[in-house]
Amino acid sequence: MSQAGVDPVNGSKGTIRVVQLYPRDMNIYGDWGNALVLQQRLRWHGYTPELLEYNVGDPFPDTVDIIVGGGGQDSGQLVIQDDLQARAATLKDLAEDGAPMLVICGLYQLFGHFFKTRTGAVIPGIGVLDVETHGTDERLIGNVKVSTPEFGEVLGYENHSGQTRLGSGVRPLGSVAKGTGNNSSDGHEGARYRNVVASYLHGSLLPKNPAIADFLIRTAAERKFGTFEPGHPDDRFAELAREHAARRPR
């Protein structure tokens, strides 16, 4: 690296590794798009992205800069539960150490204490987040608009029957202006803890909410290189996607 932070050989500010958790079993409503957005925005910011998939039984990568995890049916959550428990200490240590993470819906639930399904099965979580989730007979479906203190208006799509309650160890991502979010009673959506962002919103989330993508990238770069030097992302498509998503009815 030169003093300006740019590798004189390949012109990159450095490599950022994005690890997608369980894409084989936990990847619905376009959640994989979150990893693709991080890949493209890392390039725009001048970094070299490296995208890795981690599935049940894989060796866990030795270096991890950003974790992303998607949603899944209750059945997918059952498939990954043992492997996730085996990785609990690693993921907790990373979260405590400030690694940026984005977990959506099914993995949001399992980053909490537990998910008790509608049929009464208890899928243990890994307790990164002080939240618990109870399956209900009510399915919460539709477009969502959330007011957040950190990322402005967050837009996305929810589809879940689990309802999540936040404990005192986390704060909500925001409050819902349209849609339901964590549960049908308190008006909160998502959870924030250290550099972990958890949300029910698919769509996928990051193409419509580049502020969250850039938060993850900035945090990863600062954690790895001590500094983040932004580049010049092309936000035209993100803006169009936001306008379109904001106009959708519930």
The answer to whether 89 and 187 are in contact (CB under 8 A) is: no
Give the residue from 34, 66, 30 showing the smallest Cα distance to 220.
Answer: 66
Closest residue (Cβ) to ligand GLN?
A: 71
Report, in angstroms and rounded to the nearest whole number, the Rg of the chain calculated over CA atoms: 17
Q: Which two tokens stand for residue 68?
A: 């992303």
Question: Residue 91 CB, nearest distance to ligand GLN (Å)?
Answer: 18
Report the distance separating Cα 68 and Cα 81, nearest Å: 17
Report the distance separating Cα 245 and Cα 106, nearest Å: 22
Which is nearer to ligand GLN, 183 or 219 (by Cβ)?
A: 183
Residues whose CB is less than 8 angstroms from the CB of residue 172 and which lie 6 or more positions away in sequence, other chains included: 166, 182, 188, 189, 190, 191, 192
Question: 79 in helix, strand or coil?
Answer: helix
Which is nearer to ligand GLN, 41 or 160 (by Cβ)?
A: 160
The answer to whether 192 and 203 are in contact (CB under 8 A) is: no
Which is nearer to ligand GLN, 104 or 245 (by Cβ)?
A: 104
Q: Which two tokens stand for residue 159?
A: 């589809």
Question: Residue 202 CB, nearest distance to ligand GLN (Å)?
Answer: 7
Residues identified as active-site: 105, 202
Question: Residue 112 CB, nearest distance to ligand GLN (Å)?
Answer: 12
Residue 198, Ramachandran bin (φ over 0: left; ψ between -120 and 50: alpha; else beta): beta
Which is nearer to ligand GLN, 49 or 106 (by Cβ)?
A: 106
Using CB under 6 A as the criterion, which residues of the chain lie in contact with ligand GLN when the complex forms? 28, 71-74, 77, 105-106, 159-162
